[in-house]
């Protein structure tokens, strides 16, 4: 076992802790080899589950996981069963995804007691996300105290958005006091995909203007000028912008007053409504895009409207970003929907020949895990599909922090 260990030294354990879930991966940041991958779900509920894959063996178990610490302890036990002792596997870092870095953090950072306190202090900016991220950091640090822990922030890539795009037209004193600005999210994915797209085009990153569409269950778009984001659709929270699986995206703030005053809903009710019961799910009952598209094909009216609203918002922002950037070299699709939903790419960029965007139907229909061009050779703007890999990006950034330190 020692001459061919499943996990080779130099790997990074990537942790993405949600409110009731824990995603993990062990990946080598240089070779890109993925040694293990897993997901614990429904943590804190009566029955939890873990899907664990290591060394080519996959296990699915149902059990009780009262909290994240129990989940991580169980995951370590599963690794031990695979013959992998995580404390002695030569991990160079644990890379934790943290959703909100607030104004304090704009680059990956080694976890120290001060950094931990700072993440806790800015938790009110992302009350649904940062607290579980912190729980994950504490639980893993307790079990792997000798491996350096690094935090990689979803907001970091957008930290230097130009003031006119990061500032809300809200009373400036109130905005300042409560740190209200547009932060942007999915930054790890936008950073990875935009770099990968420039590499694929064989162009220097700082010379390429791109529009990146991260379309997953959550969805966001960014406008990137020469490697620097100048705008993004998510804002103070990941609720703003595009229509998502269960989130409204842009909505008139007046609706909130109406729901509170007329419908008597509490702030928590409205939060749940906007975040969990709206978007595609709120419009047609399904948030899984595959089901929505199947229903559209079958002529289901609610699904057709949901798809139409989704595309309308998408095209609205594509138009905005074409103007903001002035010159665009590439439009890049990524994440579950962006990588797989042929119809979203075809309809999202339909009839834009006058703007230099021409999709090639055959290329668009190709399914592949590799980056690929889906526009015609004479399309002035190249349209690409570039699979995202947030875990690899977190692993690379974490290893770089440890190297640099
Ligand atoms: P993500 O959040 O990136 O994991 O993306 C999840 C979304 O991708 C879900 O809405 C899935 O339905 C969607 N998705 C995954 N595969 C496909 C596919 N083949 N066609 C359409 N949508 C897909």
Spatial CB neighbours of 319, under 8 Å, sequence gap ≥ 6: none
Distance of CA 197 to CAs 128, 192, 202, 269, 329, Å?
A: 32, 9, 8, 41, 10
Q: Give 250-254 contacts, CB < 8 A, sequence gap 24+.
A: 250/313
Does ligand 1 have an atom closer than 6 angstroms to the CB of 291?
no
Task: Report residue 45 as tokens.
Answer: 């509920």
List the residue whose alpha carbon is closest to atom 23 of ligand 1. 337
**pLDDT score at 28:** 97
Q: pLDDT tens-digit profile of 74-87?
A: 999 999 999 999 99
Does ligand 1 have an atom closer than 6 angstroms to the CB of 317?
no
197: in domain: no
Q: Which residue has the tokens 């950072």?
A: 109
Closest to 48 in 3D by CA, of 76, 79, 78, 20: 20
Q: pLDDT tens-digit profile of 382-391?
A: 999 999 999 9
Q: pLDDT tens-digit profile of 172-219?
A: 999 999 999 999 999 999 999 999 999 999 999 999 999 999 999 999
3-state helix, strand, coil in the chain (%, to 5): 40, 20, 40
In this structure, the answer to whether residues 235 and 305 fall within a common structural domain is yes
In this structure, the answer to whether residues 122 and 227 fall within a common structural domain is no
List the residue whose alpha carbon is closest to atom 8 of ligand 1. 336
Tell me the C-alpha distance between 115 and 290, whole Å: 41
Tell how far the Cα of 339 is from the centroid of ligand 1, in angstroms.
8
> What Rg, from alpha-carbon coordinates, does the chain have?
22
Tell me the C-alpha distance between 149 and 386, whole Å: 29
Task: Report residue 71 as tokens.
Answer: 């989940």
Pocket probe for ligand 1: among 341, 343, 346, the residue whose CB has the most ligand atoms within 8 Å is: 341
Can you give the residue range of the structural domain that contains 265?
202-385
Does ligand 1 have an atom closer than 6 angstroms to the CB of 340?
yes
List the residue whose alpha carbon is closest to atom 17 of ligand 1. 340
In this structure, the answer to whether residues 144 and 284 fall within a common structural domain is no
In this structure, the answer to whether residues 66 and 209 fall within a common structural domain is no
Which DSSP letter does residue 375 get?
A: B
Q: Which residue has the tokens 């440890």?
A: 402
Does ligand 1 have an atom closer than 6 angstroms to the CB of 238?
no
264: in domain: yes
Tell how far the Cα of 127 is from the centroid of ligand 1, in angstroms.
26
Tell me the C-alpha distance between 277 and 265, whole Å: 14
**pLDDT score at 305:** 98
160: in domain: no
Choice among 28, 154, 286, 329 that is catalytic: 154
Residue 3 pLDDT > 60? no
In this structure, the answer to whether residues 98 and 220 fall within a common structural domain is no
Tell how far the Cα of 294 is from the centroid of ligand 1, in angstroms.
13
If you average pLDDT over residues 278-292, what whole number do you get?
A: 96
Catalytic, 154? Answer yes
Helices (H), 24-166: 68-81, 113-121, 130-143, 163-166
Pocket probe for ligand 1: among 340, 345, 347, the residue whose CB has the most ligand atoms within 8 Å is: 340
In this structure, the answer to whether residues 111 and 217 fall within a common structural domain is no
In this structure, the answer to whether residues 129 and 241 fall within a common structural domain is no
Apex 132 CA angle, 125 and 65, nearest 5: 160
Tell me the C-alpha distance between 372 and 142, whole Å: 43
Other C-beta atoms within 10 Å of 85: how many?
Answer: 12
Tell how far the Cα of 176 is from the centroid of ligand 1, in angstroms.
38
Q: Which residue has the tokens 């903001």?
A: 324
In ligand 1, the atom with minimum distance to the C-alpha of 217 is: 2
In ligand 1, the atom with minimum distance to the C-alpha of 335 is: 3
pLDDT band at residue 4, thresholds of 50, 70 and 90? very low
Pocket probe for ligand 1: among 193, 243, 246, 289, the residue whose CB has the most ligand atoms within 8 Å is: 289
In this structure, the answer to whether residues 127 and 214 fall within a common structural domain is no
Which DSSP letter does residue 381 get?
A: S
If you average pLDDT over residues 287-305, what whole number do you get?
A: 97
Does ligand 1 have an atom closer than 6 angstroms to the CB of 136?
no
Q: Which residue has the tokens 């704009």?
A: 106
Q: pLDDT tens-digit profile of 42-51?
A: 998 999 999 9
If you average pLDDT over residues 231-238, what whole number do you get?
A: 96
401: in domain: no
**pLDDT score at 56:** 87
Residue 2 pLDDT > 80? no
List the residue whose alpha carbon is closest to atom 20 of ligand 1. 341
193: in domain: no
In this structure, the answer to whether residues 315 and 216 fall within a common structural domain is yes
In this structure, the answer to whether residues 241 and 96 fall within a common structural domain is no
In this structure, the answer to whether residues 218 and 132 fall within a common structural domain is no
Q: Which residues pair with 62 in a beta bridge?
A: 49
Residue 128 pLDDT > 90? no
Apex 137 CA angle, 131 and 143, nearest 5: 140
**pLDDT score at 126:** 83
Residue 1 pLDDT > 90? no
Measure the N-to-C terminal CA separation of the chain; round to a whole number of Å. 32
Tell how far the Cα of 218 is from the centroid of ligand 1, in angstroms.
10
In this structure, the answer to whether residues 97 and 240 fall within a common structural domain is no
167: in domain: no
pTM as predicted: 0.93
If you average pLDDT over residues 263-285, what whole number do you get?
A: 96
In ligand 1, the atom with minimum distance to the C-alpha of 292 is: 12
If you average pLDDT over residues 143-164, what whole number do you get?
A: 96
Tell how far the Cα of 215 is from the centroid of ligand 1, in angstroms.
8
pLDDT band at residue 351, thresholds of 50, 70 and 90? very high
400: in domain: no
In ligand 1, the atom with minimum distance to the C-alpha of 214 is: 3
Residue 402 pLDDT > 60? yes
Tell how far the Cα of 334 is from the centroid of ligand 1, in angstroms.
10
Does ligand 1 have an atom closer than 6 angstroms to the CB of 217?
yes
Mean pLDDT of the chain: 95
**pLDDT score at 125:** 84
In ligand 1, the atom with minimum distance to the C-alpha of 367 is: 19
DSSP 286-351: ---HHHHHHHHHTT-HHHHHHHHHHHHHHHHHHHHHHHHHSS--EEEEEHHHHHH-HHHHHHHTTT
161: in domain: no
Tell me the C-alpha distance between 219 and 240, whole Å: 10
If you average pLDDT over residues 52-71, what whole number do you get?
A: 93
Q: How many domains does the chain divide into?
A: 2
Tell me the C-alpha distance between 183 and 288, whole Å: 27
Does ligand 1 have an atom closer than 6 angstroms to the CB of 137?
no
- CA-based torsion, 194, 195, 198, 200: positive or negative: negative
Q: What CATH number is associated with residue 84?
A: 3.30.420.40
CA 143 to chain centre: 26
Does ligand 1 have an atom closer than 6 angstroms to the CB of 290?
yes
pLDDT band at residue 405, thresholds of 50, 70 and 90? low
């Amino acid at each position: 076992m020692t001459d061919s260990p499943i996990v080779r030294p130099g790997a990074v354990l990537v942790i993405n802790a949600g409110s009731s879930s824990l995603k993990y991966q062990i990946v080598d940041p240089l070779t890109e080899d993925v040694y293990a991958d897993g997901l614990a779900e429904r943590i804190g509920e009566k029955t939890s589950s873990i899907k664990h894959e290591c060394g080519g063996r996959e296990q699915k178990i149902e059990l009780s996981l009262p909290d994240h610490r129990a989940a991580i302890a169980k995951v370590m036990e599963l690794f031990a069963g695979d013959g992998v002792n995580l404390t002695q596997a030569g991990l160079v870092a644990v890379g934790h995804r943290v959703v909100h870095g607030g104004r304090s953090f704009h680059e990956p950072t080694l976890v120290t007691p001060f950094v931990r306190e700072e993440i806790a202090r800015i938790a009110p900016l992302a009350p649904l996300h940062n607290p579980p991220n912190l729980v994950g950091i504490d639980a893993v640090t307790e079990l792997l105290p000798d491996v350096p822990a690094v935090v990689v922030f979803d907001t970091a890539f957008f930290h230097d958005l130009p003031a006119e795009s990061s500032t809300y037209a809200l009373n400036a004193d109130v905005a300042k006091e409560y740190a209200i600005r547009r932060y942007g999210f999915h930054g790890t994915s936008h950073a990875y995909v935009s770099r990968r797209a420039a590499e694929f085009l064989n162009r220097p990153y700082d010379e390429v203007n791109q529009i990146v569409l991260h379309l997953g269950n959550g969805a966001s778009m960014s406008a990137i000028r020469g490697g620097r984001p100048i705008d993004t659709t998510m804002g103070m929270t990941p609720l703003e912008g595009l229509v998502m699986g269960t989130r409204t995206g842009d909505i008139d703030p007046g609706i909130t007053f109406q729901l509170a005053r007329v419908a008597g809903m509490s702030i928590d009710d409205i939060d749940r409504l906007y975040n969990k019961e709206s978007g595609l799910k709120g419009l047609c009952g399904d948030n899984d895009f595959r089901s929505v598209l199947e229903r559209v094909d079958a002529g289901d009216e609610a699904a057709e409207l949901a798809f139409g609203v989704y595309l309308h918002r998408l095209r609205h922002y594509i138009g905005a970003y074409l103007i903001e950037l002035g010159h665009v070299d590439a439009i890049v699709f990524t994440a579950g929907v962006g990588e797989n939903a042929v119809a979203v790419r075809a309809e999202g960029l339909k009839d834009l020949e006058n703007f230099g965007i021409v999709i090639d139907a055959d290329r668009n229909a190709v399914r592949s895990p590799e980056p690929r061009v889906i526009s015609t050779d004479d399309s002035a703007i190249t349209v690409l599909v570039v699979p995202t890999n947030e875990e690899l990006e977190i692993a690379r950034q974490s290893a770089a922090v440890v190297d640099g330190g």
